[in-house]
């Protein structure tokens, strides 16, 4: 059986591991948020009529129907 000091040390070690895991998880969440923002920005740019690759949805629909 562990002494109270050993129990405390084990508990502190576990909390340190949990803290490290939370930091790692937060880094992943932040990276996903950055990626999502990049995708949203890119989609907004592509959907902008000023973008050189813009194709109006009606034109795209006609092209799909005629297999252009």
Q: What's the CA angle centered on 21, arms 16 and 26, to 5 degrees?
A: 125
Structural domains of the chain, count: 1
**Residue 42's Cα: distance from chain center in Å?**
15
> Residue for token digits 């002494």?
3
Q: With the CA atoms of 51, 56, 59 and 65 taken in that order, what torsion angle do they form, in degrees rounded to the nearest 10?
A: 110
pLDDT of residue 44: 79
Alpha helix (H) residue ranges in 1-68:
4-47, 57-66
Instruction: For residue range 10-39, list pLDDT tens digits in order.
Output: 999 999 999 889 989 999 999 999 999 988
Residue 13 is predicted with a pLDDT of 93
User: CA-CA distance, 35 to 64, in Å (whole number)?
Assistant: 30
The residue range of the domain holding 19 is 4-65
Look at 46 and 14; give whichever has higher pLDDT. Answer: 14
């Amino acid at each position: 059986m562990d002494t109270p000091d050993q129990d405390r040390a084990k508990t502190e070690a576990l909390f340190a591991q949990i803290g490290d895991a939370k930091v790692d998880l937060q880094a992943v969440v932040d990276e996903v948020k950055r990626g999502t923002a990049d995708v949203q920005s890119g989609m907004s740019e592509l959907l902008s009529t000023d973008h050189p690759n813009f194709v109006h949805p009606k034109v795209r629909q006609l092209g799909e129907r005629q297999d252009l």
